[in-house]
Amino acid sequence: MFIIGELINGMYANISRAIKAKDKAIIQKIALLQLDNGADALDVNCGPASVDPVNDMRWLVESIREVTDVELAIDSSKPKVIASGIEAAKRGTIINSVSADIEKMDALVPLAVKSGSKLIALAMSAKGIPGNKEQRLELAALIVTECDGKGFDLSRLYIDPVVLPVNVAQVQIKEILDSIGDFKILSAPPPKTIVGLSNISQGSSGRSLINRTFLAMALSAGLDAAILDPTDKELMDSLITAETLLNRRIYCDSYLDTYKKKGKNAPKKFSQA
């Protein structure tokens, strides 16, 4: 599975403080910590409190690029903030995210094509969050059609069924799991699927248990990628075990340690600046 670390986000107090103080060391430390724990890519979000998100995003990306060349998911609801992050990163970017709204796709899909970015698209629109899996599939179909029409490589498209918290939308969780499989029938090659994992336990106690149980079920349904906290050891153990049971990783008696060492030893920097 493609793992995007979620910890560089201005909604966390340590990141918010680092952005305000322009303290690169904190950002770089958390970037490397996530990679050491198995993240393949890093989400970058300046958070809701940023008063200058275009420049904060540039500073975050430049700070991270000093220590690693891994893919960065430039995470903002504002197209100009996304453009700023993509420009600063130069390459290896993921646009996070577009929704199933024509004006948003008109702004961001061409940017994804031009910059060679991957694209995360949410199966929701300005009208709100879908109420069932049929609506999710309809919105995903619109996304696939628009991306295809605009010349975007569908194998680089990640559709998010939009995970809702179990404490407010319990009845929808099974439908969200079903959507992961449903989206695969939309095109050939099929779009990839992704979830923002932590949403499932928003407002619940025992969050890690809920997160890792949902992740095992989502992987079983065919999930390709997730934005999550790779420093949650029990979550990563579940992820590695689920992938092993699904024959996506080779089993050996020390399979957990083997894959953890792999994360620890992975090159963080693929070229020198």
What is the binding site for a second copy (CB under 8 A)?
166-167, 170-171, 173-174, 177, 200, 204-206, 209-210, 213-214, 216-217, 219-221, 237-238, 241-242, 244-247, 250-251, 253-254, 256
Q: Which is nearer to a second copy, 25 or 168 (CB)?
A: 168
Q: Which is nearer to a second copy, 128 or 206 (CB)?
A: 206
Q: How far is the CB of 179 from a second copy (least distance, A)?
A: 13
Largest CA distance in the chain: 51
Q: How far is the CB of 187 from a second copy (least distance, A)?
A: 23
Cα angle: 221, vertex 226, 232; to 5 degrees: 110
Q: Which is nearer to a second copy, 9 or 172 (CB)?
A: 172
- State the virtual CA torsion across 58, 224, 264, 8 in degrees, nearest 10: 30
Q: Which is nearer to a second copy, 143 or 216 (CB)?
A: 216
Residues 6+ apart with CB under 8 A from 205: none
Q: Which is nearer to a second copy, 18 or 164 (CB)?
A: 164
Q: How far is the CB of 119 from a second copy (least distance, A)?
A: 28
Residues 6+ apart with CB under 8 A from 175: 132, 133, 136
Q: How far is the CB of 202 from a second copy (least distance, A)?
A: 12
Closest CA to 190 of 224, 241, 220, 234: 224
Can you give 80-116 as a three-state secondary structure string?
A: HHHHHHHHHHCCCEEEEEEECCHHHHHHHHHHHHHHC
Q: How far is the CB of 235 from a second copy (least distance, A)?
A: 11
Q: Which helix (H) or strand (E) holds 194?
A: strand 192-196
